[in-house]
């Protein structure tokens, strides 16, 4: 179908590849390349459409936003134009982030303004909740751990989004990552527009944002970075309850949303959400990193942000591979959550850190607070970490071979932070196991089945992984220096940021693996090594 963009066209639907609209005669090929096929939605100042770019091979999909304000008064048109130009400039500035749609084109044609963006295939959070039901506490923490770093990035660019809500957050189909869309309401907090005779621009003369999601200071036309944090908090309440702000009662005295009786989560998360949703901007979290600290996942942020995998079978099936701060699941969406490895990895790390702090502080609350403060600046070992800096905690104790295998046979899959150095695990089945940040130096894993296991930030220096099944294993920031990986199956493994200096990859299968040429250059390879592209040979 070809869809007409004339706002007053009585019948905009046309036969595919028509040149002109059968109803109003308007040209259907925008800028001689973009063919609109269907409307996606309409807001106060613009309508969005799905289109195909016929100037490119394969005619890829894109999104076209047309300036279409609801009113025709001069000040409304001026505001709409300002918002439109601001969105284009913002997307051009920050659109290189993988969780923000790229700006592809921006132009004016026949006195109409158009903005062309990358098309994000997937479902919005609003659609997810309606289709699959409300989120668990684990899923909400997973969501926050992924969206808060993005929010921090946006704020570092001096941008306030001003319209964060479930309908503006899409889980991208191909990699299950959250993407924030609709930057039409953004505000640049640094650059001030020229004031008119009334001391306000057309843009600031009206509150921008979605009622209920926007905090009081934003509706009073004084948005700050913390305004986005409030909107994110309201989004979390929607995910936990399925209720929009208009369906929730407010305290008539304080103006606070009365949401706490509607959720069934830990006191810890309630306290975090309570501060995100404080109507007083002074009492609210001021930065996204403040929320991450409160959630106790900031030390693991780098690993979380880079921990995505695409699970491939005969046909590609998307799946996230992030570790998150709560026990439970590795999930791609609330309806298809897998049990076993996943958030339990980081949960174990957090429990270990808490145990360490409690043990160090004893019964002195002041000591505990001091320990917690110090822990905020502590991160998990980087890719160059070795046994000189082991993780010491009650949960990270040394295990022998028999204890480990017995625990695995009884169903245990979480050995994060444990000391497994020098164990003989040759030929054993330890598939889909969590070894996040574990010590496995010089451990014998020859011929072992380690399919889909998590070795994020683990130390595997000089480990024997010859002929091991490491397909779809996760090695983000793992230390594999000097490891023997000859003949190992590393197909579709995630090796980004892993230290492969001196690792022996002769005869290893790396087809579909996430690994850079720079990493491979540090390792030993031969003509039998299967490259990520599926071909054998040296670099």
User: Is 65 annotated among the ligand-binding residues?
Assistant: yes
Backbone angles phi, psi at 340, to 5 degrees: 110, -115
Handedness of CA 144, 145, 146, 151 (dihedral sign): positive
Residue given tokens 């439109």 in the structure block: 84
Beta carbons of 434 and 341 less than 8 angstroms apart? yes
Residue 24 DSSP SS3: coil
Concatenated DSSP letters of 435-502 = -TT-B-TT-B-TT-B-TT-B-TT-B-TT-B-TT-B-TT-B-TT-B-TT-B-TT-B-TT-B-TT-B-TT
Beta carbons of 133 and 242 less than 8 angstroms apart? yes
Report the C-alpha dihedral over residues 296, 298, 302, 306, rounded to 10 degrees.
Answer: 50
426: closest CA among 407, 452, 445, 442? 445
Q: CA-CA distances (angstroms) from residue 73 to 80, 202, 345, 519?
A: 11, 11, 57, 59
- Per-residue buried b or exposed e for 49-84, using 16+ beta carbons within 10 Å of the residue's own CB: bebbbeeeeeeeebbbbbbbbeeeeeebebbbbbbb
Which listed residue (163, 228, 278, 414) is catalytic? Answer: 163
Those residues with Cβ within 8 angstroms of residue 456's Cβ, 6 or more apart along the chain or in another chain:
303, 307, 323, 345, 436, 437, 474, 475, 476, 477, 478
State how far the Cα of 496 lies from the Cα of 13, in Å rounded to an integer.
47
Phi-psi region of 242 (alpha: psi -120 to 50; beta: other; left: phi over 0): left
State how far the Cα of 335 lies from the Cα of 354, in Å rounded to an integer.
31
Those residues with Cβ within 8 angstroms of residue 200's Cβ, 6 or more apart along the chain or in another chain:
none
Residues β-bridged to residue 474: 454, 494
Helix count and strand count (H, E) for the chain: 12, 17
Is 182 an active-site residue? no
Concatenated DSSP letters of 499-517 = B-TT-B-TT-B-TT-B--H
Backbone angles phi, psi at 295, to 5 degrees: -80, -10
> Binding site: what residues are annotated?
65
What is the set of active-site residues? Answer: 163
> Binding site for ATP: what residues are annotated?
65
């Amino acid at each position: 179908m070809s869809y007409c963009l004339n706002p007053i066209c009585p019948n905009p639907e046309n036969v595919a590849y028509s040149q002109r609209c059968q109803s109003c005669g308007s040209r259907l090929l925008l800028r001689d390349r973009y063919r609109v096929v269907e409307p996606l939605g309409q807001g106060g100042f613009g309508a969005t459409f799905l289109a195909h770019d016929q100037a490119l091979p394969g005619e890829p999909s894109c999104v076209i936003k047309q300036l279409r304000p609801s009113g025709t008064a001069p000040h409304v048109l001026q505001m709409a134009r300002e918002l439109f130009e601001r969105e284009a400039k913002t997307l051009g500035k920050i659109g290189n982030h993988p969780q923000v749609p790229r700006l592809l084109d921006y132009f004016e044609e026949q006195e109409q303004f158009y903005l062309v963006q990358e098309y994000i295939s997937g479902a919005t959070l609003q659609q997810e909740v309606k289709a699959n039901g409300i989120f668990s506490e684990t899923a909400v923490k997973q969501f926050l751990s992924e969206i808060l770093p993005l929010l921090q990035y946006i704020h570092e660019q001096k941008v306030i989004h001003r319209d964060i809500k479930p309908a503006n957050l899409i889980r991208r189909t191909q990699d299950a990552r959250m993407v924030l869309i609709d930057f039409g309401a953004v505000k640049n907090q640094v650059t001030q527009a020229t004031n008119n005779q009334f001391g306000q621009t057309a843009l600031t003369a009206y509150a921008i944002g979605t009622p209920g999601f926007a905090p009081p200071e934003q509706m009073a036309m004084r948005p700050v970075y913390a305004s986005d944090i409030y909107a994110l908090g309201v989004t979390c309440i929607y995910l936990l309850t399925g209720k929009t702000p208009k369906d929730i009662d407010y305290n008539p005295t304080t103006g606070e949303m009365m949401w706490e009786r509607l959720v069934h989560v830990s006191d810890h998360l309630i306290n975090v959400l309570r501060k995100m949703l404080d109507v007083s901007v002074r009492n609210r979290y001021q930065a996204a990193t403040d929320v991450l600290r409160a959630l106790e996942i900031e030390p693991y942020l780098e690993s979380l942000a880079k921990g995505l995998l695409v699970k491939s079978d005969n046909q590609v099936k998307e799946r996230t591979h992030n570790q998150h701060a709560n026990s439970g699941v590795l999930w791609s969406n609330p309806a298809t959550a897998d049990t076993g490895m996943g958030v339990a990895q980081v949960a174990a790390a957090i429990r270990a850190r808490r145990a360490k702090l409690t043990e160090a502080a004893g019964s002195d609350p002041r000591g505990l607070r001091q320990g917690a403060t110090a822990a905020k600046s502590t991160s998990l070992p980087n890719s160059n970490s070795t046994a000189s800096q082991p993780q010491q905690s009650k949960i990270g104790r040394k295990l022998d071979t028999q204890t480990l295998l017995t625990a695995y046979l009884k169903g245990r899959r979480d050995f994060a932070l444990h000391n497994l150095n020098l164990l003989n695990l040759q030929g054993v089945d330890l598939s889909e196991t969590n070894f996040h940040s574990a010590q496995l130096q010089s451990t014998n894993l020859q011929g072992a089945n380690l399919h889909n296991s998590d070795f994020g930030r683990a130390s595997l220096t000089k480990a024997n992984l010859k002929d091991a099944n490491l397909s779809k294993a996760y090695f983000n920031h793992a230390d594999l220096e000097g490891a023997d990986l000859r003949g190992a199956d590393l197909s579709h493994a995630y090796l980004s940021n892993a230290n492969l200096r001196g690792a022996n990859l002769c005869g290893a299968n790396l087809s579909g693996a996430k690994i850079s040429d720079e990493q491979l250059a540090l390792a030993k390879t031969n003509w039998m090594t299967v490259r990520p592209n599926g071909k054998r040979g040296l670099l």
